[in-house]
A and B are shown apart, each in its own frame.
Chain A
Amino acid sequence: MKGGLAMLEVKDLHIHFHDADAAHDAVKGISFTVPDGEIVGLVGESGSGKSITAMAVCGLLPRHRASLSGEVMLNGKNLLTIPRSELRAMQGSDITVVFQEPMVSLDPCMKIGPQVEEALLLHTDLGDEERKARALKAMADADLPDPERLYNKYPHELSGGMLQRCMIAAAIISDPQLLLCDEPTTALDVTIQAEILKLLQRINKEKGTSILFISHNLNVVKKLCTSILVMHKGLLVERGTPEEIFNHPREEYTKRLIAAIPSRTRKIRDMVDAERAAADKTAPDGNALVGNAPDGNAPGGNAQGISAETGNLQG
């Protein structure tokens, strides 16, 4: 496996939003790398800053709404400071994106084919025939059945899973160095999800494309990624391989996150019974708030913390 050489290097990234009544630091100084040929997962809940980071990495954060500092190095260039024209040249060829909602990522008035080859239209000077050939190949690589026929169809004629594959085809057609996926499977059915993940793995293996995979779903990330970064409230709280993160989480937040993943090992009723039994043993503190987080921990400690959480605005 290729390794060592970093494809993407993010150093001390700070992102601050100027919204008059909600100015805040979305990202508070994070650093990480995506090594060449690897799949890195960036996980976090809403408000963690993972999507903002993703947008910053592909240069899609409007510069007048946010101020960014730090470095985002791709191919030796700092994407945050290079001139717009250079950035535009890289977007769609060196770095491509697959978004969450395939239904709205594609133009409903254009056929599929031209949209898949659009990147080639913008970044190369290939002729029509060549572009179409490349598009068909990309669509085949993305596991789309009968690309010739799909080429001339409109987005509304395809299912969510097929559309997402078209997006992936459009993203890999220019053989990017970095493929950024922002929750690409969240809007899809569970069986389709599994197929898309396999597809991404194959692309990574066959073409050596590095992938930065953003998700809130730890299970998905566990299956796909070679290393995982956990974000919480704008900070990178933990990083490691899936094995390390799942079996030996170090940080409190990571542990909570993992404990909260629905799994087939614990039933809610058992957890509630356990909580009740434990609460009965300790002195009741009169705090009757329901819905405490399940982690089977010793009583007392967490009850206070969680109930404070449900009470205030971050609940």
Chain B
Amino acid sequence: MFKELLSQRLSALFVGGWLLLNFPLLALWDVDATWGGVPVFPAALFILWVVLIAAIAWLIERPVTRTKDE
């Protein structure tokens, strides 16, 4: 379902990731605080990275034709 929109979704994710990992928005995390002992800025970068990879995996691996096998 919606397979034809995959390229568009990936392009949107690319633009979103580009904005989130560049400076006007990245400055949101540039604060003098820690989350459980970890400085916020590196923690936010790593979390954004994981979220980006998870989003790619979700978009690419979503069962489209797999419903037949299940």
A binds B: no
Q: Which residues of A pack against B, CB within 8 Å? A: none
Q: Which residues of B pack against A, CB within 8 Å? A: none
